[in-house]
Amino acid sequence: MAQFPEEPIYEQLARVGKALSSPVRLRLLDVLDQRERTVEELAQAAEIPLKNTSAQLQQLRAAHLVTSRREGTRVYYRLTDERVSRFLGELQGFAHDRLADLRDAVRSRLGALEGVTADELARRLADPGTVVVDVRSATDYAAGHVPGAISVPLSDLRDHLDDLPKEAEIVAYCGGPYCVVSPEAVRLLREHGYAARPLDGGFLGWRRGEKPLER
């Protein structure tokens, strides 16, 4: 018996909260927000065991946060729609404002590098003194990137430093707001005398801000 008349309603509402109550599922949602992937690709990108990835996807599907499509023998997973992406962005922003422990965790993991906001970068895209570098994989880059960005995966960056102009400011970005790759890229660039900053929020911050994309 329900404890109060509206309990069945709140039970349904709580399904979304339960689906978001796992750090692993939140990580999977951020990775899927960048582009659709097979379960194997998702497990590799999220650095989560394959079996666990499959189990967590089922819970996300049950809450209608994730959907899938079949192409031959492959099944591709993606966010159900853009409202899920916007909701995740709002959730992360709300939590960042409310939780000092989250802000401390972000600083501890990413460092205290001053970033470039998506709005600022959008104004500077036509500026020849700004060079945008996408340090994600070539596949992620091909699926969508900041207009004019150069694809230089972090693993290749050291070998391509001489290809980047020393007189420009380099803005590097990776996948999402908690991605550690672009801060690593910025530190490497600065060590070699480049002016460099990360893009706040990464690719997801750019896309969730409804900024233009190239494919």
| Active-site annotation, residues | 174
Output the six-digit token pair for 134: 């996408």
- Residue 161: partners with Cβ closer than 8 Å, 6 or more residues away: 189, 192, 194
User: Do 186 and 115 touch, CB atoms closer than 8 A?
Assistant: no
Output the six-digit token pair for 180: 């550690």
- Residue 192: partners with Cβ closer than 8 Å, 6 or more residues away: 161
Q: What are the angstrom distances between the C-alpha of 190 and each of 135, 180, 200? A: 15, 16, 17
Number of H helices, E strands in the chain: 11, 7
User: Do 198 and 183 touch, CB atoms closer than 8 A?
Assistant: yes
Tell me how far apart the alpha carbons of residues 145 and 168 are, in angstroms, rounded to a whole number.
20
